[in-house]
Protein backbone atom coordinates (compact mmCIF):
# COMPACT_ATOMS: atom_id res chain seq x y z
CA UNK A 1 0.00 0.00 0.00
CA UNK A 2 1.23 3.44 -0.89
CA UNK A 3 2.03 5.74 1.97
CA UNK A 4 0.15 8.85 2.86
CA UNK A 5 2.05 12.03 2.30
CA UNK A 6 1.32 15.71 2.73
CA UNK A 7 1.43 16.25 -1.04
CA UNK A 8 -1.70 14.17 -1.58
CA UNK A 9 -3.46 13.68 1.71
CA UNK A 10 -6.31 11.25 1.95
CA UNK A 11 -5.07 8.87 -0.70
CA UNK A 12 -6.59 5.58 0.28
CA UNK A 13 -5.56 2.08 -0.56
CA UNK A 14 -9.13 0.94 -0.90
CA UNK A 15 -10.35 -2.39 0.33
CA UNK A 16 -12.48 -0.31 2.72
CA UNK A 17 -16.22 -0.74 2.74
CA UNK A 18 -18.14 -0.40 -0.51
CA UNK A 19 -19.73 2.78 0.71
CA UNK A 20 -16.49 4.63 1.30
CA UNK A 21 -15.50 7.11 -1.40
CA UNK A 22 -11.82 8.03 -1.14
CA UNK A 23 -10.31 11.31 -2.33
CA UNK A 24 -8.09 9.30 -4.67
CA UNK A 25 -8.04 5.57 -5.41
CA UNK A 26 -4.95 4.37 -7.25
CA UNK A 27 -5.80 0.67 -7.04
CA UNK A 28 -8.57 0.79 -9.65
CA UNK A 29 -6.22 2.11 -12.31
CA UNK A 30 -3.53 -0.39 -11.33
CA UNK A 31 -6.05 -3.24 -11.56
CA UNK A 32 -7.15 -2.14 -15.04
CA UNK A 33 -3.58 -2.14 -16.36
CA UNK A 34 -2.03 -4.80 -14.15
CA UNK A 35 -0.86 -7.23 -16.88
CA UNK A 36 0.95 -4.49 -18.83
CA UNK A 37 2.47 -3.03 -15.67
CA UNK A 38 3.65 -6.45 -14.47
CA UNK A 39 5.21 -7.18 -17.87
CA UNK A 40 7.00 -3.82 -17.98
CA UNK A 41 8.43 -4.30 -14.50
CA UNK A 42 9.44 -7.89 -15.25
CA UNK A 43 11.28 -6.74 -18.37
CA UNK A 44 13.38 -4.33 -16.29
CA UNK A 45 14.18 -7.09 -13.80
CA UNK A 46 15.20 -9.39 -16.64
CA UNK A 47 17.43 -6.77 -18.26
CA UNK A 48 18.80 -5.47 -14.97
CA UNK A 49 19.33 -1.97 -16.40
CA UNK A 50 18.07 -0.26 -13.26
CA UNK A 51 19.87 3.08 -13.67
CA UNK A 52 19.61 5.01 -16.96
CA UNK A 53 18.11 1.98 -18.68
CA UNK A 54 16.35 1.84 -22.02
CA UNK A 55 12.93 2.61 -20.57
CA UNK A 56 14.19 6.01 -19.37
CA UNK A 57 15.27 7.19 -22.82
CA UNK A 58 12.03 5.81 -24.26
CA UNK A 59 9.96 7.71 -21.74
CA UNK A 60 11.93 10.94 -22.15
CA UNK A 61 11.32 10.87 -25.90
CA UNK A 62 7.60 10.14 -25.52
CA UNK A 63 7.03 12.73 -22.80
CA UNK A 64 8.87 15.45 -24.75
CA UNK A 65 6.60 14.67 -27.72
CA UNK A 66 3.54 14.73 -25.45
CA UNK A 67 4.48 18.18 -24.11
CA UNK A 68 5.65 19.56 -27.44
CA UNK A 69 9.25 20.20 -26.35
CA UNK A 70 12.56 19.19 -27.90
CA UNK A 71 13.89 17.65 -24.71
CA UNK A 72 12.77 15.86 -21.58
CA UNK A 73 15.12 14.82 -18.79
CA UNK A 74 13.88 12.27 -16.28
CA UNK A 75 14.84 13.22 -12.72
CA UNK A 76 14.28 11.94 -9.18
CA UNK A 77 11.21 14.02 -8.29
CA UNK A 78 9.40 17.27 -9.08
CA UNK A 79 11.14 19.27 -6.37
CA UNK A 80 14.55 18.39 -7.81
CA UNK A 81 13.25 19.20 -11.30
CA UNK A 82 12.58 22.78 -10.18
CA UNK A 83 15.86 22.99 -8.27
CA UNK A 84 17.95 21.82 -11.21
CA UNK A 85 16.23 24.19 -13.65
CA UNK A 86 17.00 27.10 -11.31
CA UNK A 87 20.57 25.94 -10.79
CA UNK A 88 21.17 25.37 -14.51
CA UNK A 89 20.02 28.97 -15.07
CA UNK A 90 22.57 30.13 -12.44
CA UNK A 91 19.86 31.40 -10.11
CA UNK A 92 20.80 31.60 -6.44
CA UNK A 93 24.23 31.08 -5.00
CA UNK A 94 24.35 27.55 -3.61
CA UNK A 95 24.14 28.37 0.07
CA UNK A 96 25.56 31.87 -0.07
CA UNK A 97 22.77 34.40 0.27
CA UNK A 98 22.29 36.17 -3.03
CA UNK A 99 20.09 38.96 -4.25
CA UNK A 100 18.49 36.87 -6.99
CA UNK A 101 14.71 37.11 -6.66
CA UNK A 102 12.20 34.52 -7.81
CA UNK A 103 8.51 35.42 -7.98
CA UNK A 104 5.94 32.72 -7.23
CA UNK A 105 2.36 32.45 -5.93
CA UNK A 106 1.58 32.52 -2.19
CA UNK A 107 -0.79 29.57 -2.71
CA UNK A 108 0.96 26.35 -3.72
CA UNK A 109 2.44 23.17 -2.33
CA UNK A 110 5.64 23.89 -0.39
CA UNK A 111 7.78 22.28 -3.13
CA UNK A 112 7.39 25.36 -5.37
CA UNK A 113 9.31 27.56 -2.95
CA UNK A 114 11.72 25.12 -1.26
CA UNK A 115 14.22 24.86 -4.14
CA UNK A 116 14.33 28.67 -4.45
CA UNK A 117 15.42 29.09 -0.85
CA UNK A 118 17.69 26.05 -0.81
CA UNK A 119 19.66 27.55 -3.71
CA UNK A 120 20.11 30.76 -1.76
CA UNK A 121 17.77 32.87 -3.88
CA UNK A 122 15.03 35.08 -2.43
CA UNK A 123 11.38 33.99 -2.87
CA UNK A 124 9.08 36.92 -3.63
CA UNK A 125 5.45 35.91 -3.15
CA UNK A 126 2.44 37.41 -4.89
CA UNK A 127 -1.28 36.69 -4.62
CA UNK A 128 -3.43 34.54 -6.90
CA UNK A 129 -6.37 35.38 -9.13
CA UNK A 130 -9.65 34.93 -7.16
CA UNK A 131 -11.38 33.02 -9.98
CA UNK A 132 -8.70 30.65 -11.30
CA UNK A 133 -6.43 30.49 -8.22
CA UNK A 134 -3.33 30.89 -10.39
CA UNK A 135 -0.60 33.54 -10.28
CA UNK A 136 -1.99 37.06 -10.90
CA UNK A 137 0.01 38.59 -13.81
CA UNK A 138 -0.69 42.19 -12.72
CA UNK A 139 0.80 41.53 -9.32
CA UNK A 140 3.81 39.82 -10.92
CA UNK A 141 4.37 43.00 -12.90
CA UNK A 142 4.29 45.09 -9.71
CA UNK A 143 6.70 42.71 -7.97
CA UNK A 144 9.36 42.81 -10.70
CA UNK A 145 12.69 44.31 -9.65
CA UNK A 146 16.11 44.67 -11.29
CA UNK A 147 17.15 41.44 -9.51
CA UNK A 148 14.16 39.32 -10.56
CA UNK A 149 15.74 36.25 -12.16
CA UNK A 150 12.71 33.99 -12.58
CA UNK A 151 8.94 33.78 -12.28
CA UNK A 152 7.38 30.41 -11.43
CA UNK A 153 3.68 30.19 -12.31
CA UNK A 154 2.01 27.09 -10.80
CA UNK A 155 -0.65 25.32 -12.84
CA UNK A 156 -2.59 24.79 -9.63
CA UNK A 157 -5.12 21.96 -9.27
CA UNK A 158 -4.62 21.15 -12.98
CA UNK A 159 -5.48 24.55 -14.45
CA UNK A 160 -2.78 26.39 -16.43
CA UNK A 161 -1.80 29.78 -15.07
CA UNK A 162 -2.62 32.79 -17.26
CA UNK A 163 0.51 32.45 -19.38
CA UNK A 164 0.05 34.97 -22.22
CA UNK A 165 0.65 38.11 -20.10
CA UNK A 166 3.51 36.39 -18.26
CA UNK A 167 5.12 35.39 -21.56
CA UNK A 168 4.81 38.97 -22.75
CA UNK A 169 6.42 40.26 -19.54
CA UNK A 170 9.24 37.75 -19.98
CA UNK A 171 9.92 39.17 -23.45
CA UNK A 172 10.33 42.69 -22.07
CA UNK A 173 12.27 41.81 -18.90
CA UNK A 174 15.35 39.68 -18.30
CA UNK A 175 13.74 36.93 -16.20
CA UNK A 176 13.10 33.27 -16.95
CA UNK A 177 9.59 31.81 -16.94
CA UNK A 178 9.65 28.37 -15.28
CA UNK A 179 6.41 26.39 -15.20
CA UNK A 180 5.62 24.36 -12.08
CA UNK A 181 3.70 21.72 -14.03
CA UNK A 182 3.51 19.12 -11.25
CA UNK A 183 -0.31 19.19 -11.11
CA UNK A 184 -1.23 19.64 -14.75
CA UNK A 185 0.31 17.05 -17.11
CA UNK A 186 -1.41 17.53 -20.47
CA UNK A 187 -3.32 20.74 -19.70
CA UNK A 188 -3.24 23.36 -22.46
CA UNK A 189 -3.05 27.10 -22.68
CA UNK A 190 -3.96 28.63 -26.05
CA UNK A 191 -3.71 25.10 -27.51
CA UNK A 192 -0.08 24.79 -26.35
CA UNK A 193 0.64 22.03 -23.85
CA UNK A 194 1.99 23.18 -20.48
CA UNK A 195 5.66 22.49 -19.92
CA UNK A 196 6.39 24.04 -23.31
CA UNK A 197 5.41 27.66 -22.62
CA UNK A 198 8.35 28.89 -20.56
CA UNK A 199 12.07 28.25 -20.69
CA UNK A 200 11.38 24.95 -18.90
CA UNK A 201 8.70 22.92 -17.15
CA UNK A 202 9.07 20.92 -13.92
CA UNK A 203 6.94 17.76 -13.61
CA UNK A 204 6.31 15.39 -10.73
CA UNK A 205 5.31 11.74 -11.10
CA UNK A 206 4.43 11.34 -7.43
CA UNK A 207 1.91 8.45 -7.37
CA UNK A 208 -1.18 10.64 -6.88
CA UNK A 209 -0.40 13.08 -9.71
CA UNK A 210 -2.31 12.85 -13.03
CA UNK A 211 0.63 10.82 -14.38
CA UNK A 212 2.04 8.94 -11.41
CA UNK A 213 4.83 6.42 -10.91
CA UNK A 214 5.00 3.82 -8.12
CA UNK A 215 7.31 5.99 -6.06
CA UNK A 216 9.01 9.31 -6.62
CA UNK A 217 9.83 10.54 -10.11
CA UNK A 218 10.01 13.77 -12.04
CA UNK A 219 11.01 15.39 -15.30
CA UNK A 220 12.26 18.63 -16.81
CA UNK A 221 10.90 19.65 -20.21
CA UNK A 222 12.57 22.30 -22.37
CA UNK A 223 13.40 23.15 -25.95
CA UNK A 224 16.63 24.91 -24.97
CA UNK A 225 19.56 22.58 -25.82
CA UNK A 226 22.01 24.18 -23.39
CA UNK A 227 19.59 24.06 -20.51
CA UNK A 228 18.70 20.44 -21.31
CA UNK A 229 22.36 19.47 -21.37
CA UNK A 230 23.10 21.22 -18.09
CA UNK A 231 20.13 19.71 -16.26
CA UNK A 232 21.06 16.26 -17.55
CA UNK A 233 24.59 16.68 -16.21
CA UNK A 234 23.50 18.17 -12.85
CA UNK A 235 21.12 15.24 -12.33
CA UNK A 236 23.90 12.73 -12.98
CA UNK A 237 26.84 13.87 -10.83
CA UNK A 238 27.87 16.63 -13.22
CA UNK A 239 29.29 14.18 -15.71
CA UNK A 240 29.09 13.19 -19.33
CA UNK A 241 31.65 10.41 -19.10
CA UNK A 242 31.52 7.82 -16.34
CA UNK A 243 34.29 9.12 -14.05
CA UNK A 244 34.94 12.56 -15.44
CA UNK A 245 32.95 15.24 -13.63
CA UNK A 246 32.75 18.66 -15.28
CA UNK A 247 30.58 20.38 -12.69
CA UNK A 248 29.35 19.88 -9.14
CA UNK A 249 26.16 17.92 -9.70
CA UNK A 250 23.92 15.69 -7.65
CA UNK A 251 22.15 12.35 -7.94
CA UNK A 252 18.58 12.82 -9.08
CA UNK A 253 17.67 10.39 -11.85
CA UNK A 254 14.39 8.80 -12.89
CA UNK A 255 14.64 5.08 -12.06
CA UNK A 256 14.36 2.70 -15.01
CA UNK A 257 11.61 0.85 -13.14
CA UNK A 258 9.57 4.04 -12.72
CA UNK A 259 10.15 4.98 -16.37
CA UNK A 260 8.91 1.53 -17.45
CA UNK A 261 5.72 2.08 -15.45
CA UNK A 262 5.29 5.58 -16.91
CA UNK A 263 5.71 4.14 -20.43
CA UNK A 264 2.70 1.91 -19.80
CA UNK A 265 0.67 4.80 -18.38
CA UNK A 266 1.52 7.73 -20.68
CA UNK A 267 -0.58 6.50 -23.66
CA UNK A 268 -3.65 6.60 -21.37
CA UNK A 269 -3.03 10.03 -19.87
CA UNK A 270 -5.15 11.99 -22.36
CA UNK A 271 -8.12 9.68 -21.74
CA UNK A 272 -7.68 9.92 -17.99
CA UNK A 273 -7.61 13.71 -18.20
CA UNK A 274 -10.79 13.62 -20.31
CA UNK A 275 -12.46 11.43 -17.68
CA UNK A 276 -11.45 13.86 -14.92
CA UNK A 277 -12.90 16.77 -16.92
CA UNK A 278 -16.14 14.83 -17.43
CA UNK A 279 -16.49 14.15 -13.71
CA UNK A 280 -15.77 17.83 -13.02
CA UNK A 281 -18.52 18.84 -15.47
CA UNK A 282 -20.93 16.46 -13.75
CA UNK A 283 -20.04 17.85 -10.31
CA UNK A 284 -20.55 21.39 -11.70
CA UNK A 285 -24.00 20.41 -12.98
CA UNK A 286 -25.09 18.61 -9.80
CA UNK A 287 -23.77 21.30 -7.44
CA UNK A 288 -25.03 24.29 -9.40
CA UNK A 289 -27.25 26.74 -7.55
CA UNK A 290 -25.99 26.21 -4.00
CA UNK A 291 -25.36 29.81 -2.97
CA UNK A 292 -22.85 28.96 -0.25
CA UNK A 293 -20.47 27.18 -2.63
CA UNK A 294 -18.07 28.52 -5.25
CA UNK A 295 -17.43 25.95 -7.97
CA UNK A 296 -14.12 25.84 -9.86
CA UNK A 297 -13.88 28.17 -12.86
CA UNK A 298 -11.65 27.75 -15.89
CA UNK A 299 -10.03 30.79 -17.48
CA UNK A 300 -10.42 31.61 -21.18
CA UNK A 301 -8.27 29.69 -23.66
CA UNK A 302 -7.23 27.09 -21.10
CA UNK A 303 -8.05 23.42 -20.53
CA UNK A 304 -8.19 22.20 -16.93
CA UNK A 305 -7.09 18.62 -16.20
CA UNK A 306 -8.56 18.55 -12.68
CA UNK A 307 -5.73 17.07 -10.68
CA UNK A 308 -8.06 18.25 -7.92
CA UNK A 309 -11.69 19.37 -7.94
CA UNK A 310 -11.70 22.23 -5.43
CA UNK A 311 -14.79 24.04 -4.19
CA UNK A 312 -14.86 26.97 -1.76
CA UNK A 313 -17.29 27.45 1.09
CA UNK A 314 -17.33 29.37 4.37
CA UNK A 315 -18.54 26.13 6.06
CA UNK A 316 -15.57 24.09 4.89
CA UNK A 317 -14.72 22.27 8.12
CA UNK A 318 -18.34 21.38 8.94
CA UNK A 319 -18.97 20.18 5.39
CA UNK A 320 -15.80 18.12 5.50
CA UNK A 321 -16.91 16.49 8.77
CA UNK A 322 -20.40 15.82 7.40
CA UNK A 323 -18.99 14.14 4.29
CA UNK A 324 -16.61 12.07 6.38
CA UNK A 325 -19.55 10.78 8.44
CA UNK A 326 -21.05 9.59 5.15
CA UNK A 327 -17.80 7.81 4.24
CA UNK A 328 -16.73 10.47 1.74
CA UNK A 329 -13.09 11.54 2.07
CA UNK A 330 -12.07 15.03 1.07
CA UNK A 331 -8.85 17.05 1.27
CA UNK A 332 -7.60 20.59 1.88
CA UNK A 333 -5.11 21.90 -0.68
CA UNK A 334 -3.70 23.78 1.12
CA UNK A 335 -4.65 24.82 4.67
CA UNK A 336 -1.71 27.24 5.09
CA UNK A 337 -0.49 29.54 2.30
CA UNK A 338 3.26 29.70 1.80
CA UNK A 339 3.75 33.10 3.46
CA UNK A 340 2.19 31.86 6.71
CA UNK A 341 4.18 28.60 6.89
CA UNK A 342 6.45 28.48 9.94
CA UNK A 343 9.38 27.62 7.63
CA UNK A 344 8.89 30.95 5.83
CA UNK A 345 8.35 33.15 8.86
CA UNK A 346 11.74 34.77 8.15
CA UNK A 347 10.42 36.32 4.91
CA UNK A 348 8.44 38.68 7.13
CA UNK A 349 5.04 38.48 5.42
CA UNK A 350 2.16 39.09 7.83
CA UNK A 351 -1.36 37.67 7.98
CA UNK A 352 -3.54 39.74 5.64
CA UNK A 353 -0.78 40.31 3.08
CA UNK A 354 -2.27 37.96 0.44
CA UNK A 355 -6.04 37.98 1.09
CA UNK A 356 -7.07 35.79 -1.88
CA UNK A 357 -4.63 33.03 -0.93
CA UNK A 358 -5.64 33.28 2.73
CA UNK A 359 -9.36 33.08 1.92
CA UNK A 360 -8.80 30.05 -0.32
CA UNK A 361 -6.75 28.31 2.38
CA UNK A 362 -9.58 28.86 4.87
CA UNK A 363 -12.40 27.83 2.53
CA UNK A 364 -11.10 25.28 0.01
CA UNK A 365 -12.27 21.68 -0.07
CA UNK A 366 -11.12 19.05 -2.57
CA UNK A 367 -13.87 16.57 -3.44
CA UNK A 368 -13.04 13.00 -4.56
CA UNK A 369 -11.51 13.11 -8.04
CA UNK A 370 -9.81 10.40 -10.07
CA UNK A 371 -10.47 9.06 -13.58
CA UNK A 372 -11.80 5.66 -12.44
CA UNK A 373 -14.63 7.09 -10.31
CA UNK A 374 -18.12 5.91 -11.14
CA UNK A 375 -21.02 8.13 -12.09
CA UNK A 376 -22.81 6.84 -9.02
CA UNK A 377 -19.98 7.98 -6.77
CA UNK A 378 -20.13 11.51 -8.19
CA UNK A 379 -23.90 11.53 -7.60
CA UNK A 380 -23.43 10.30 -4.04
CA UNK A 381 -20.88 13.02 -3.23
CA UNK A 382 -23.03 15.74 -4.81
CA UNK A 383 -26.15 14.50 -3.03
CA UNK A 384 -24.40 14.62 0.36
CA UNK A 385 -23.05 18.13 -0.29
CA UNK A 386 -26.58 19.22 -1.22
CA UNK A 387 -28.17 17.58 1.79
CA UNK A 388 -25.69 19.38 4.07
CA UNK A 389 -27.07 22.72 2.85
CA UNK A 390 -30.68 21.75 2.21
CA UNK A 391 -31.06 20.30 5.70
CA UNK A 392 -29.56 23.44 7.21
CA UNK A 393 -26.54 21.64 8.67
CA UNK A 394 -24.34 24.63 7.87
CA UNK A 395 -26.29 26.61 10.50
CA UNK A 396 -25.61 24.09 13.27
**Which residues make up the interface to ligand PLP (CB under 6 A)?**
7, 77-79, 108-109, 111-112, 154, 180, 182-183, 204, 206, 216, 218
By beta-carbon proximity to ligand PLP, the closer residue of 137 and 218 is 218
Shortest approach of ligand PLP to residue 272 CB, angstroms? 17
Shortest approach of ligand PLP to residue 19 CB, angstroms? 29
By beta-carbon proximity to ligand PLP, the closer residue of 9 and 78 is 78
For residue 305, the Cα-to-chain-centroid distance in whole angstroms is: 11
By beta-carbon proximity to ligand PLP, the closer residue of 179 and 384 is 179
> What is the CB neighbour count within 10 angstroms for residue 162?
22
> What is the C-alpha separation between 140 and 360, in angstroms, rounded?
19
By beta-carbon proximity to ligand PLP, the closer residue of 204 and 357 is 204
For residue 106, the Cα-to-chain-centroid distance in whole angstroms is: 15
Shortest approach of ligand PLP to residue 316 CB, angstroms? 20
Shortest approach of ligand PLP to residue 255 CB, angstroms? 13
CB 343 within 8 A of CB 336: no
* HSE-CB of 377 using CA atoms within 13 angstroms: 21
**Closest residue by beta carbon to ligand PLP:** 78
What is the sign of the dihedral through the CA atoms of 125, 131, 137 and 139?
A: negative
List helix spans (H) across the chain: 27-32, 34-47, 54-67, 78-88, 114-118, 137-143, 163-172, 225-235, 256-265, 269-287, 316-325, 355-363, 375-390
Shortest approach of ligand PLP to residue 170 CB, angstroms? 20
Shortest approach of ligand PLP to residue 162 CB, angstroms? 16
DSSP annotation of 238 reads T
Indicate left, alpha or beta for 108 from its phi (over 0: left) and psi (-120 to 50: alpha).
Answer: beta
By beta-carbon proximity to ligand PLP, the closer residue of 37 and 182 is 182
By beta-carbon proximity to ligand PLP, the closer residue of 180 and 255 is 180
Amino acid sequence: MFCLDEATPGVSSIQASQKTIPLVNLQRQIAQHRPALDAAMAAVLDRGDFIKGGAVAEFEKAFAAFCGTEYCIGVGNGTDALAMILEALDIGAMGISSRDEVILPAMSFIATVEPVSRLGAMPVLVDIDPHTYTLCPLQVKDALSPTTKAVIPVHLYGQPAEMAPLMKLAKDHPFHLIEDSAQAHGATCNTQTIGSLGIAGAFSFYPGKNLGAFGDGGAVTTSDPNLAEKVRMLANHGRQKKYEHDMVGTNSRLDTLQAAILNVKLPHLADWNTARAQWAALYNELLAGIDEIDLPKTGADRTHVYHLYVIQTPHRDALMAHLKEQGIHTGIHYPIPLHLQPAYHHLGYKQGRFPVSEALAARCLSLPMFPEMTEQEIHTVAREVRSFYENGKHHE
